[in-house]
Amino acid sequence: MNFSDEGYIINLRKHGERSLILTVLTRTHGKVVGYAKNCLSKKNLAAFQLGNQVRLEVWARVDENMPVFKTELVAPTVVGFINSEAKLRVLSSFCALCNACMPELQNLESFYDKADDFFKHINEDNWLAYYSYFEFYLLDFLGIGLDLNTCAVTGRTENLAYVSPKSGRAVCADAGAPYRQKLFGYPQFIRTRNYRPTSREVSDLLQMTEFFLNKNFFAAHGLKFPQCRVSLGQNLKLTAEN
């Protein structure tokens, strides 16, 4: 195995005094886990932070062995997060979801753009919208895509207002009104490519993505849903309600 790629650090743990086991989310090789030897010098310490964008040279004599990384900092992306508790919570959730859900050594194609957009817009006032797009398209990437085109009850395409937690299908306003407390809100801003949704719309979307990710991926694979993501959803819900 021998390749180069770029991506974002989504997990790291010390190995000995000066080395790390790094997990990097890359565009053309998916999640890559490898050994960065003697990287924890004072000069390089700031480069090895969750969320930073790095360039990798990856090498392994045998494909089954853990590869060795030679890394170079591309952008200190974490700087956009460190002065905001809210952004750090979202970064923790992003890293935890990617670490659990992303396949190793597979081309992520256009899905990687959703992750890239999140980091590239972290200094914009609507940065959270880009994160919500990432989670929505994560469902589709994992094969949990929702059917939002027609009402599950009437077959109509107009006035869609809810999403059923049972079927993952849209429900129109009049059919769903009697059951609205049990349904998710329809993600209209995603459908219209609106990157300036209200805080309520973002919170509603992330409540929905949390439910389907937990039910259809984490529980289905016997995995525990990340507590940092649960806390994020609770915090955003409280903020939206106030």
- Spell 196-232 as b/e; 16+ CB within 10 A means b: ebeeebbbbbbbbbbbbbbeebbeeeeeebbebbeeb
Nearest to 28 by CA among 58, 72, 68, 67: 58
Nearest to 207 by CA among 233, 176, 181, 185: 233
List where CATH 2.40.50.140 sits in the chain: 2-80
The CATH architecture annotation of domain 2-80 reads: Beta Barrel (2.40)
Any idea which residue has 């396949």 for tokens? 103
Per-residue pLDDT, 15: 84
Residue-by-residue pLDDT tens, the chain, 242 positions: 789 999 999 999 988 778 899 999 999 999 999 988 877 777 777 788 999 999 999 988 766 678 888 999 999 999 999 999 999 999 999 999 999 999 998 999 889 999 999 999 999 999 999 999 999 999 999 999 899 999 999 999 999 999 999 999 999 999 999 999 999 999 999 999 999 999 999 999 999 999 999 999 999 999 999 999 999 999 998 888 76
| Separation CA 114–CA 136 (nearest Å) | 10
